[in-house]
């Protein structure tokens, strides 16, 4: 790159360097308009708003400095919603990774109909959270839900699945695993297919059994893929809103109230945009910390 | 970069471990695998079957036990009710969803491919810095921009219009990342030939790079379309009036309004889902390949 | 396809032919009260008017409202009213959002308790014109309720009705329990005693009987609609307490009165088993299926009772006094208002509809909501009606409206969440009370 630009400079006058480079920059102009208006700009503006008591409908917007962040630190509801969200995300990511890995390892063996299975496992992922919520609200309904029907059929006591504190987050997680495990499944499958077969062949010749080859070859070689899945899944499930909003409205007694539900209430029901903004930055900070932890424990390069 | 999905099975493939060759042992293995996987597959598909069966079941039978996964007296009554119900302009919602998702897809493909071309194929000072700068915004979750974007939309007087849903998508980063990877894999000779033929930079992009990237563009297009079609949170806050709602917003509000008719809700869910399932059916190879490629490049 | 990119058909009409008629419409004389007057006023109106109306009348009363709107459109065939029904939760989010977006509906039906919140945020336009020039009499409303819909000296709308909670008693079940429907309990001891005879497990045992199985209850004594707010307010009011003090500076939830009320409610649910855990329990289904003795529900239940053929088996009770000080029933009123930013044509159509509805309070009473106009409330047929008459006199005798506040939605949300946590045993009474007190006080302090 340095060499070409050096040459260009030597050619000299007929076409100035900036004229030659201008079209290259022009390719970027449309994107950077959007980038500034809807991504970079809002990030900065959002922080600015978080420094005010910013009720969008009131003319008076008093400056608070870091007052909103102080309030956030002392806000029990924020910590409660965060606790619920972390619990939900951890259960969901855990469930997704385990089920995704389980299914992909088996599908990789190409059983008869493996393409149909691959197709089916990913199907719920293409649904809207609204559809997912509407269906699963029926499945877990206390009085006439599918689950209670089958639970009753095998002679177990029926439960208020979404109406009891001890069940509600696990049930929401289970629903979300049903909805999203197809994604980690496919990514794991890609990772598995990317592991060169001769490694397994060599191991087999050395007398390594299947379980050992799974724990000693497959898992270590899947580490980068796992990191990718865990990081992106945590980010995605920390933002959980639709499942709760449709299926439980945060109940019973706030035990499924998530951070983004709280953000929605504060921002669009109480119109406290300033505090809502500081909530969003609080969530961003938590996500960043969790991402760094993930990198710390799952990061590192892998050699084939 | 492309993933070998191995759609057919050669008679003898020595690259496979022995247990995958067709022996008795192989058959036992396959049986065990199927016994493990089939329950997962059933659990995956059962709620969807339930949705469709309830949508076609007469309202007075939706709570019958045992559940009839294939309704004994299938009926379109719930759909008819849905389409004619006052205050539930579901066809309008579908049109809204379609307009928004199509526009978003067109916008993202245009903007992202232009940008990815610049970042992946062109050389100019500051290129890498700008690319890294854009990538770092991926670290900040989108929730941070919700409030300010809402305030900006208010200033632009775009709230409760399609504009509010369409234009912010132009700032998406994912597609740039994906397409840049793909563009970089196109042999440079093809591009050089085009330049010799007198194509300018835009001509090269338009006539050489884009056509060669068809599969990547399709994958990105489908993901973008599905993402937009299914989005709930932003449309929920950016739209107010009934006739502007998208399908997921309409559907979730329908659920909230506690319409006690189960068949009605399930019919609405089914109507929302059918276009998505059709798209998925047609483009499943692109979608599955797209996810797999993304997963590998993402590390 | 009324609105594409924010351009509605109404605005389009306004841009074309509408302008001329608008100019003519400026000379409309004040509309006098009464049906016939509508005909006289009609010719001066624009040829085609659309009124976008948002409300949350999704209960049994919604049926009557839609009938009324239909009747209005028949009498005024140049007007199309686009009713949009939302749940109240979403309504209270979307109305201010639409004002923010600069694209509000032409008319909303909101509640009297919300006016304190709409006022400072300029969500509703001042409605003086209705009283000054459109013939709505200021002195025909219950003064205290009318006062509640004022902000900075102006009323922000026109009262449609008075509504609130009351008791629907299943006579057969009460008689089967050996109680007299004509002799409602008058204090807490009587209330608990009588209600205890109404809860049954599948073996027909009462909670006071030996061997009663609380896991196997088939009939509950009573249930209170929207437990978290209306019933809790009634509970604390009957004890002489309230959520916040009168000038809105101090949360009073940790007072003895409120704590006692919540503790009593918890006992009624978890010890006496008189009331189901109010999560996933359908009061409507249970009352309809004759498995609920007393439903403390809204006045808007009239259509539901009629349509379910429950009139003969139902008798009215005032909200019983189970608190320690005085009987109180929660009450509120619907307010018809015009949001800020509505265009001229929309305002005109909405104004006409508001006046018409105000005059048709007796028709609206078919929904079960007694009219806001005192002159209409005194109607003899209405007074004699088992439902509307009883509700009306109850409101006059023991009705109470909620304390207003500029952030009332947030306050309600705070204590409701905490009270629900208590009643579902997620928190103890003292934890819930302390937390609700803290949260409500935080809201009050913020605005001080």
Looking at the structure, tell me whether residues B141 and B279 fall in a common domain. yes
Considering only residues 86 to 105 of chain B, which have any Cβ-Cβ distance to chain A shorter than 8 Å?
none
The predicted model gives A259-275 an average pLDDT of: 95
With respect to residue A208, please indicate whether it lies within any of the assigned structural domains: yes
Looking at the structure, tell me whether residues A41 and A166 fall in a common domain. no
When pLDDT is cut at 50, 70 and 90, the band that residue B7 belongs to is: very low
Q: Please check the confidence at residue C330 and state whether its pLDDT lies above 80.
A: yes
Q: Please check the confidence at residue C11 and state whether its pLDDT lies above 50.
A: no
> Where on the phi/psi map is residue B297: left (φ > 0), alpha (ψ -120 to 50), or beta?
alpha
DSSP string, B56-114: TS-GGGTT-SS--SS-SS--SHHHHHHHH-TT--HHHHHHHHHHHHHHHHHHHHHHHHH
Place of tokens 């915004």: B137
Contacts (Cβ under 8 Å, ≥6 apart) of A48: none
With respect to residue A193, please indicate whether it lies within any of the assigned structural domains: yes
When pLDDT is cut at 50, 70 and 90, the band that residue B70 belongs to is: confident
Condensed to tens digits (0 to 9), the pLDDT of residues A37-69 reads: 999 999 999 999 999 999 989 988 999 999 999
Which residue from A25, A127, A225 is facing B299, i.e. has the nearest CB?
A225
Looking at the structure, tell me whether residues B117 and B218 fall in a common domain. yes
With respect to residue A5, please indicate whether it lies within any of the assigned structural domains: no
Q: Do C420 and A162 touch (CB under 8 A)?
A: no
Query: Quick one: tokens of C81?
Result: 């009213």
The CATH number for B156's domain is: 1.10.3720.10
| Helix, strand, or coil (residue B200) | coil
Pick from C414, C426, C427, C429 the residue to mutate for testing the A interface (most A CBs within 10 Å).
C426
Q: Measured between CB atoms, does B226 come within 8 Å of chain A?
A: yes
With respect to residue A181, please indicate whether it lies within any of the assigned structural domains: yes
Residues of chain A neighbouring B65 (CB-CB closer than 8 A):
149
Per the structure, the complete domain to which residue A121 belongs is given by 68-298
Looking at the structure, tell me whether residues B44 and B140 fall in a common domain. no
Looking at the structure, tell me whether residues B134 and B282 fall in a common domain. yes
With respect to residue A57, please indicate whether it lies within any of the assigned structural domains: no
Which residue from A56, A253, A269 is facing C409, i.e. has the nearest CB?
A269
Looking at the structure, tell me whether residues B34 and B149 fall in a common domain. no
Which residue from C123, C420, C425 is facing A251, i.e. has the nearest CB?
C420
For residue B144, report the phi and psi dihedrals to the nearest 5 degrees: -60, -30
With respect to residue B239, please indicate whether it lies within any of the assigned structural domains: yes
Looking at the structure, tell me whether residues A28 and A161 fall in a common domain. no
Q: Do C87 and B161 touch (CB under 8 A)?
A: no
Q: How far, in Å, CA of C119 to CA of C156, rounded?
A: 8
The predicted model gives A97-104 an average pLDDT of: 97
Query: Quick one: tokens of A57?
Result: 């409908």
Chains in touch with C (3+ beta-carbon pairs under 8 Å) read: A, B
When pLDDT is cut at 50, 70 and 90, the band that residue B63 belongs to is: confident
Pick from B67, B136, B141 the residue to mutate for testing the A interface (most A CBs within 10 Å).
B141
Q: What is the number of domains present in chain A?
A: 2
Place of tokens 């309030």: A71
Q: Give the chain A residue nearest C420 (alpha carbons).
A: A253
Looking at the structure, tell me whether residues A21 and A111 fall in a common domain. no
Map out the domains of chain C with their CATH numbers: 33-162+333-400 (3.40.190.10), 164-331+407-446 (3.40.190.10)
Condensed to tens digits (0 to 9), the pLDDT of residues C354-379 reads: 999 999 999 999 999 999 999 998 88
Query: Quick one: tokens of B114?
Result: 């232009």
What is the model's pLDDT at position B170?
95
With respect to residue B80, please indicate whether it lies within any of the assigned structural domains: no
Query: Quick one: tokens of A278?
Result: 């500081």
What's the complex ipTM? 0.88
Q: What is the number of domains present in chain B?
A: 2
With respect to residue B194, please indicate whether it lies within any of the assigned structural domains: yes
Looking at the structure, tell me whether residues B154 and B204 fall in a common domain. yes
Looking at the structure, tell me whether residues A156 and A276 fall in a common domain. yes
**Sheet strand arrangement including C158-159:** C79-85, C49-55, C107-111, C334-337, C158-159
Looking at the structure, tell me whether residues A174 and A219 fall in a common domain. yes
Looking at the structure, tell me whether residues B70 and B92 fall in a common domain. no
Looking at the structure, tell me whether residues A119 and A245 fall in a common domain. yes
Of the three residues B47, B75, B103, the one that is the final residue of a domain is B75
The CATH number for A181's domain is: 1.10.3720.10
Looking at the structure, tell me whether residues B124 and B249 fall in a common domain. yes
Query: Quick one: tokens of C181?
Result: 């429907």
Looking at the structure, tell me whether residues B106 and B236 fall in a common domain. yes
Per the structure, the complete domain to which residue B66 belongs is given by 18-75
Q: Measured between CB atoms, does A63 come within 8 Å of chain C?
A: no
Looking at the structure, tell me whether residues A23 and A130 fall in a common domain. no
Q: Please check the confidence at residue C243 and state whether its pLDDT lies above 90.
A: yes
Q: Give the chain B residue nearest A109 (alpha carbons).
A: B20
What share of chain B has pLDDT > 90, as a percent?
A: 50
Count contacts between A and B (CB, < 8 Å). Answer: 307
Q: Do A138 and B262 touch (CB under 8 A)?
A: yes
Of the three residues B41, B75, B109, the one that is the final residue of a domain is B75
Looking at the structure, tell me whether residues A190 and A258 fall in a common domain. yes
Q: Please check the confidence at residue B4 and state whether its pLDDT lies above 70.
A: no
Looking at the structure, tell me whether residues A172 and A243 fall in a common domain. yes
With respect to residue B99, please indicate whether it lies within any of the assigned structural domains: yes
Query: Quick one: tokens of A294?
Result: 């993930």
With respect to residue A234, please indicate whether it lies within any of the assigned structural domains: yes
The predicted model gives A166-191 an average pLDDT of: 95
Q: Closest by alpha carbon to B39, among C410, A207, A121? A: A121
What is the model's pLDDT at position A146?
86
The predicted model gives A125-142 an average pLDDT of: 90
Chains in touch with B (3+ beta-carbon pairs under 8 Å) read: A, C
Looking at the structure, tell me whether residues A121 and A192 fall in a common domain. yes
Q: Please check the confidence at residue B9 and state whether its pLDDT lies above 60.
A: no
Condensed to tens digits (0 to 9), the pLDDT of residues C248-290 reads: 999 999 999 999 999 999 999 999 999 998 877 888 888 988 9
Write out the residues of chain C at the interface with chain A, using a CB-CB cutoff of 8 A: 92-93, 96-97, 99-100, 120-123, 277, 279-280, 282, 407, 409-410, 413, 417, 420-427, 435, 438-439, 442, 446
With respect to residue A132, please indicate whether it lies within any of the assigned structural domains: yes
What is the model's pLDDT at position B297?
65
With respect to residue A60, please indicate whether it lies within any of the assigned structural domains: no
Q: Considering chain C, what is the average pLDDT of its residues?
A: 87
Alpha-carbon distance A139 to nearest alpha carbon in chain C (angstroms): 14
Q: Give the chain C residue nearest A75 (alpha carbons).
A: C439
Looking at the structure, tell me whether residues A31 and A72 fall in a common domain. no
Looking at the structure, tell me whether residues B236 and B118 fall in a common domain. yes
By CB neighbour count within 10 A (0-12 exposed, 13-18 middle, 19+ buried), where does A121 fall? buried
Looking at the structure, tell me whether residues B200 and B52 fall in a common domain. no
Looking at the structure, tell me whether residues B280 and B176 fall in a common domain. yes
Looking at the structure, tell me whether residues A217 and A250 fall in a common domain. yes
Check if the beta carbon of residue B103 is closer than 8 Å to that of residue B166: yes
């Amino acid at each position: 790159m340095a060499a070409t630009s050096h040459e260009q400079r030597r050619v000299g006058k007929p076409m100035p360097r900036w004229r030659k480079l201008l079209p290259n920059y022009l390719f970027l102009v449309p994107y950077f308009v959007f980038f500034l208006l809807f991504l970079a700009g809002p990030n900065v503006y959002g922080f600015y708003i978080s420094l005010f008591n910013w009720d969008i409908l009131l003319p008076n917007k008093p400056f608070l400095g870091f007052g909103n962040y102080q309030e956030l630190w002392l806000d029990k509801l924020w910590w409660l919603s965060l606790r619920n969200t972390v619990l939900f995300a951890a259960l969901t990511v855990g469930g997704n990774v385990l089920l995704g890995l389980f299914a992909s390892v088996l599908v990789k063996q190409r059983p008869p109909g493996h393409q149909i299975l691959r197709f089916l496992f990913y199907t719920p992922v293409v649904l809207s959270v609204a559809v997912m919520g509407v269906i699963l609200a029926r499945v877990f309904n206390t009085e006439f839900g599918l689950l209670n029907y089958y639970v009753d059929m095998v002679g177990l006591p029926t439960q208020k699945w979404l109406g009891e504190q001890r069940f509600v987050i696990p049930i929401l997680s289970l629903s979300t695993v049903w909805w999203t495990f197809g994604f980690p499944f496919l990514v794991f499958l890609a990772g598995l297919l990317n592991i060169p077969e001769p490694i397994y062949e060599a191991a087999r010749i050395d007398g390594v059994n299947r379980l050992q080859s799974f724990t000693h070859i497959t898992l270590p070689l899947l580490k980068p893929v796992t990191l990718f899945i865990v990081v992106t899944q945590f980010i995605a499930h920390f933002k959980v809103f639709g499942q709760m909003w449709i299926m439980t409205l945060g109940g019973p007694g706030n035990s499924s109230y998530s951070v983004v539900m709280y953000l929605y209430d504060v921002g669009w029901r109480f119109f406290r945009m300033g505090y809502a903004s500081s909530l969003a930055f609080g969530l961003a900070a938590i996500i960043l910390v969790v991402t760094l932890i993930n990198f710390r424990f799952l990061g590192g390069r892998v050699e084939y | 970069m492309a993933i070998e999905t191995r759609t057919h099975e050669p008679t003898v493939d020595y690259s496979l471990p022995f247990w995958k060759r067709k022996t008795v042992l192989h058959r036992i293995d396959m049986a065990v695998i199927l016994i493990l996987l089939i329950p997962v597959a059933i659990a995956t598909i059962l709620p969807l079957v339930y949705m469709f069966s309830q949508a076609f079941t007469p309202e007075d039978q939706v709570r019958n036990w045992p559940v009839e996964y294939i309704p004994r007296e299938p009926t379109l009554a719930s759909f008819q009710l849905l389409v004619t119900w006052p205050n539930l302009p579901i066809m309008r919602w579908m049109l809204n969803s379609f307009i928004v998702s199509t526009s978003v897809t067109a916008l993202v493909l245009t903007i992202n491919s232009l940008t990815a071309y610049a970042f992946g194929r062109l050389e100019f000072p500051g290129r890498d810095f700008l690319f890294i700068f854009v990538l770092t915004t991926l670290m900040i979750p989108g929730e941070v921009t919700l409030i300010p974007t809402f305030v900006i939309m208010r200033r632009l007087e775009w709230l409760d219009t399609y504009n509010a849903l369409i234009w912010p998508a132009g700032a998406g980063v994912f597609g740039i990342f994906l397409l840049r990877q793909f563009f970089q894999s196109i042999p440079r000779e093809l591009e050089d030939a085009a330049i010799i033929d007198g194509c300018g930079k835009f001509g090269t992009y338009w006539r050489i790079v884009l056509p060669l990237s068809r599969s990547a563009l399709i994958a990105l297009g489908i993901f973008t379309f599905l993402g937009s079609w299914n989005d709930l949170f932003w449309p929920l806050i950016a739209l107010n009036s009934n006739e502007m709602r998208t399908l997921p917003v309409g559907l979730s509000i329908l659920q909230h309004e506690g319409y006690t008719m189960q068949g009605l809700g399930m019919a609405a869910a089914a109507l929302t889902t059918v276009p998505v399932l059709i798209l998925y059916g047609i483009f499943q190879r692109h979608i599955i390949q797209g996810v797999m490629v993304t997963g590998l490049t993402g590390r | 396809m009324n609105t594409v990119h924010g351009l509605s058909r109404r605005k389009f009409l306004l841009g074309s032919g509408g302008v001329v008629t608008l100019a003519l419409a400026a000379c409309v004389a004040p509309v006098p009260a009464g049906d016939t007057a509508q005909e006289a006023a009609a010719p001066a109106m624009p040829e085609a008017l659309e009124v976008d109306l948002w409300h949350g009348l999704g209960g049994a009363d919604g049926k009557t409202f839609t009938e009324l709107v239909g009747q209005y459109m028949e009498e005024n065939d140049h007007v199309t009213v686009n009713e949009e029904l939302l749940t109240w939760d979403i309504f209270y989010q979307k109305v201010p959002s639409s004002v923010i977006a600069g694209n509000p509906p032409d008319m909303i039906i909101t509640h009297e308790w919300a006016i304190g919140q709409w006022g400072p945020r300029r969500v509703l336009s001042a409605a003086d014109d209705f009283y000054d020039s459109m013939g709505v009499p200021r002195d025909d409303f219950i003064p205290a309720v009318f006062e509640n819909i004022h902000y900075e000296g102006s009323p922000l709308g026109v009262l449609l009705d008075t509504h609130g909670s009351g008791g629907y008693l299943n006579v057969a079940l009460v008689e089967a329990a050996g109680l007299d429907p004509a002799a409602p309990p008058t204090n807490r001891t009587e209330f608990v005693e009588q209600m205890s005879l109404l809860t049954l497990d599948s073996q027909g045992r009462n909670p006071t009987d030996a061997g009663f199985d609380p896991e196997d209850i088939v009939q509950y004594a009573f249930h209170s609609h929207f437990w978290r707010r209306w019933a809790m307010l009634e509970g604390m009011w009957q004890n002489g307490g309230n959520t916040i003090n009168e000038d809105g500076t101090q949360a009073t939830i940790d007072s003895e009165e409120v704590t006692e009320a919540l503790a009593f409610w918890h006992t009624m649910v978890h010890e006496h088993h008189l009331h189901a855990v109010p999560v996933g329990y359908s009061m409507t289904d249970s009352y309809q299926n004759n498995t609920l003795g007393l439903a403390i529900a809204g006045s808007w239940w009239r259509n539901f009772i009629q349509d379910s053929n429950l009139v003969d088996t139902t008798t009215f009770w005032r909200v019983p006094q189970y608190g320690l000080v005085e009987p109180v029933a929660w009450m509120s009123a619907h307010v018809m208002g015009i949001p800020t930013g509505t265009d001229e044509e929309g305002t005109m159509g909405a104004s006409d509809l508001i006046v018409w509805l105000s005059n048709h309070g007796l028709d609206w009473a078919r929904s079960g909501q007694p009219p806001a106009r005192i002159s209409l409330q005194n109607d003899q047929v209405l007074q004699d009606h088992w439902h509307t008459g009883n509700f009306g006199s109850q409101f006059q005798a023991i009705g109470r409206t909620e304390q207003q506040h500029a952030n009332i939605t947030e306050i309600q949300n705070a204590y409701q969440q905490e009270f629900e946590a208590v009643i579902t045993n997620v928190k103890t009474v003292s934890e819930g009370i302390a937390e609700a007190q803290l949260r409500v006080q935080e809201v009050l302090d913020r605005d001080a």
